[in-house]
Amino acid sequence: MSTSFQTIRGTFDILPDAYTDDGGTRIAPSAEWRHVEATVRDVMRRHNFDEIRTPILEPTELVARGVGESTDIVQKEMFAFERGDTQYVLRPEITAPVVRAYLQHHLDQRGGVQKLFYLGPCFRAEKPQKGRYRQFHQFGIEILGADEARADAETIAVLMAVCEALGLSDLKLRLNTLGTPERREEYVQALEEYLRPYANELSDTSRRRLERNPLRILDTKVEHEQKLLRDAPKLIDFVDEESLVHYDEVKGLLTDLDIEYEEAPRLVRGLDYYTETTFELESPGLGAQSALAGGGRYDRLAEVLGSDEPVPAVGFAAGMERLFLALDAADAERPGPPTPDVFIAALGDDAEQWVFRTSQELRNEGLHVAHDLMGRSLKAQMKEANRQKAPYAMIIGGNELEAEAATVKEMKSGEQEEVPFDELTPYLQRRLEGNASGGAPA
């Protein structure tokens, strides 16, 4: 069997079994994705967040305005297209769509603070590499309508809770404040003035940023530029008193929660909408893609999207693919694929019919039942039962039909016993309960 088609560059299939892609990266099986998603949902429920689902398709203008014209995302990474006179984009992130939905549906009218979480695919037309895909999956939260430092701290606490629930440790939380846009603007000017004399010492990209978005130069990894920045004006010196108080409060609350962090004065993050608190969660040792999640406050985004009043907001976004890299590195425990409770093997046409009907009945009772669909030999069916790791196999042939009792075999021990047809469900339920600890969770 073959096909000339294949997944589009930078995308991947999630299969029932784990496999390694051509770059040697392990692609987790669907059961592990379910496990991570279920863990996220459970943490969200405990933290009182409600799920929001927005379309994958959004107006291009929403992204351009929300994420920022100067960002790489908008400059060169959007999957955008036109139909009729509408410009569409496959969402590259989910914060702007959530704020759009919040404004569109007047969610503030639900009353109080809106605590929302999301989980789903995003798209960016970047060059793919390990832990970075063109279709990738994010989950995250947005707390809308709360300007208190506790909202910032809770955002970070939720992120840490998810990681802990998944069994991740050795993570590094990096924290910074950007202050208000006004003060940031002043700082940007000062930074620009400082750097301009050195313009011809800068790398091409940094020189371009000097024009477009000087703040991002702080992110540079070029050693020479880092040296230059040592004597540059400091962002923190421009942040106003109110922002500093807010920042201190956030740090105090994190300490209260025993959440360790490291201050990162140069952490500016790539998206234009961040203000005040910003943070990033790193998993050291993951190489180029060590950032598992990032977030911060974005008090001005609602207005950028047309709101006539500001909506204080804070949130994070985490990358699922990166999370899996970290889980692999940490060798964290994850469930195997679901296995049938019982495999029912049929011998002969009459038996096949009985098995087919009885399987449905047992399934209606809640049992996970497997049977053959290929008309294969008993031997082959038993082999299949073994492969699927069913703890019990049931054999139905002429003898069983006549006796109205099934041959039930415990695979591990190989022991068999006869069980009357009308006692099958309670029998299986009782036996399965007995070794519930041994079975893989579904």
Partner RNA sequence: GUGGGUGUAGCUCAGUUGGUUAGAGCGCCAGGUUGUGGUCCUGGAGGCCGUGGGUUCAAAUCCCACCACUCACCCCA
Question: What part of residues 262-281 is at the interface with RNA (CB under 7 A)?
Answer: 269-271, 280
**Shortest spacing between CB 122 and RNA, in angstroms:** 7
Residue with smaller CB distance to RNA, 229 or 292: 292
Tell whether residue 227 is a contact of RNA (CB under 7 A). Answer: no
Residue with smaller CB distance to RNA, 72 or 148: 72
- As a whole number of angstroms, the distance between CA 269 and CA 93 comes to 14
Tell whether residue 412 is a contact of RNA (CB under 7 A). Answer: yes
Tell whether residue 23 is a contact of RNA (CB under 7 A). Answer: yes
Q: Which of 379, 433, 436, 437 is in the footprint of RNA by CB under 7 A? A: 379
Per-residue x/- marks for RNA, 56-75, CB under 7 A? ---------------xxx--
Strand pairing category for 275-282 and 172-177: antiparallel
Interface positions, 93-152, toward RNA (CB under 7 A): 93, 124, 126-133, 136, 138
- As a whole number of angstroms, the distance between CA 430 and CA 401 comes to 23
Per-residue x/- marks for RNA, 170-209, CB under 7 A? -----------------------------------x---x
- As a whole number of angstroms, the distance between CA 237 and CA 242 comes to 13
The DSSP string of 118-179 is: EEEEEE--PPPBTTB-SEEEEEEEEEES--SHHHHHHHHHHHHHHHHHHT--S-EEEEEE--
**Shortest spacing between CB 38 and RNA, in angstroms:** 20
Q: Tokens for 202?
A: 């800068």
Residue 123 φ then ψ, to 5°? -135, 130
The stretch among 81-89, 252-260, 331-339, 379-387 that binds RNA (CB under 7 A) is: 379-387
Interface positions, 313-332, toward RNA (CB under 7 A): 317-319, 321-322
- As a whole number of angstroms, the distance between CA 90 and CA 80 comes to 6
Q: Tokens for 341?
A: 């409770």
Residue with smaller CB distance to RNA, 24 or 111: 24
Nearest Cα to Cα of residue 302 among 143, 423, 191:
143
Nearest Cα to Cα of residue 143 among 92, 105, 98, 179:
98
Q: Which of 120, 167, 181, 397 is in the footprint of RNA by CB under 7 A? A: 397
Q: Which of 294, 312, 315, 340 is in the footprint of RNA by CB under 7 A? A: 294
